[in-house]
Amino acid sequence: MPTFVLEREAGGRVAGVDEAGRGPLAGPVMAAAVVFAQRVPRRLERLIDDSKKLSPAGREAAFVALRACPSAEIAVGAASVAEIGRLNILRAAMLAMQRAVARLPALPDLALIDGNRAPDLPCATRCIVGGDAECLSIAAASIVAKVLRDRAMSRLAVRFPGYGWEENAGYATEAHRAALRRLGPTPHHRRDFGTVRVLAAAQLIEITAAD
């Protein structure tokens, strides 16, 4: 379980920063920054874990508790599909994290970043590989980013039915790949991703053959 040890050792204002949505075939990449300005309530601490280890219900419960916690400062940033196509997914993820940190009420003294690459921030940074399983504020950020991105994909699923985004959040499941081949890409697909290009080309070939 993640702990508050790294934040306490660092002192000052420490933000945990993480992103969600680097791997999907569709949708934005989302990032969150979380600062615990005071001691984390024990009840909330028990709910927080690496978002990948939590069930959807567990993530929602933790998200609601985080939003209700007076000592939790939460900020969110995103990078669009167009920005992903223009910058590439890594740089777009860095941009989303920059936007999240910039939207905090005050600049942190230190940003703890999940992974081995830090965005360019106007504060000190420290990368922690597997930080969402080790560091409480990073784990909280991972939950916020994941929940909000999943909600965004569910809303898009209403406008673009057939791809199963309400269940797969844009990831390359078998059903999503089959839908891409059958229906073609939407404006929210990452057309520079190899899988999207290949399946979109296959759909065009099938349409041409049918004609």
Q: What is the DSSP letter of 193?
A: S
Tell me the average pLDDT across 33-43: 92
Dihedral of CA atoms 46, 50, 53, 56 in degrees, nearest 10, equals 80
Q: Which residues contact 39 (CB under 8 A, 6 or more apart)?
A: 71
Query: 143, 48 in Cβ contact below 8 A?
Result: yes
- Predicted structure pTM score: 0.94
Residue 14 has pLDDT above 50, yes or no: yes
Report pLDDT for 117.
96
Cα distances (angstroms) measured from residue 114 to each of 69, 88, 126, 130: 22, 19, 9, 6
pLDDT, tens digit (0-9, with 9 covering 90-100), for 118-137: 999 999 999 999 999 999 99
Residue 210 has pLDDT above 60, yes or no: no
Beta bridge partners of 113: 17, 127
Distance CA 138, CA 144 (A): 10
Q: How far apart are the first and last CA of the chain?
A: 57
Q: pLDDT averaged over the chain?
A: 94
Q: CA torsion sign, 125 to 126 to 129 to 130?
A: negative
What pairing do the DSSP bridges indicate for beta strands 29-36 and 72-79? antiparallel
Report pLDDT for 204.
58
**For residue 188, which of 211, 144, 210, 155 has the smallest C-alpha distance?**
155
For 106-172, the DSSP string reads S--SEEEEESS-----SSEEEEETTGGGTBHHHHHHHHHHHHHHHHHHHHHHHHSTTS-HHHHTT--
pLDDT, tens digit (0-9, with 9 covering 90-100), for 41-86: 899 999 999 999 999 999 999 999 999 999 999 999 999 999 999 9
Tell me the average pLDDT across 104-126: 97
Tell me the average pLDDT across 162-174: 97
Secondary structure percentages of the chain, helix, strand, coil, to 5: 50, 20, 30
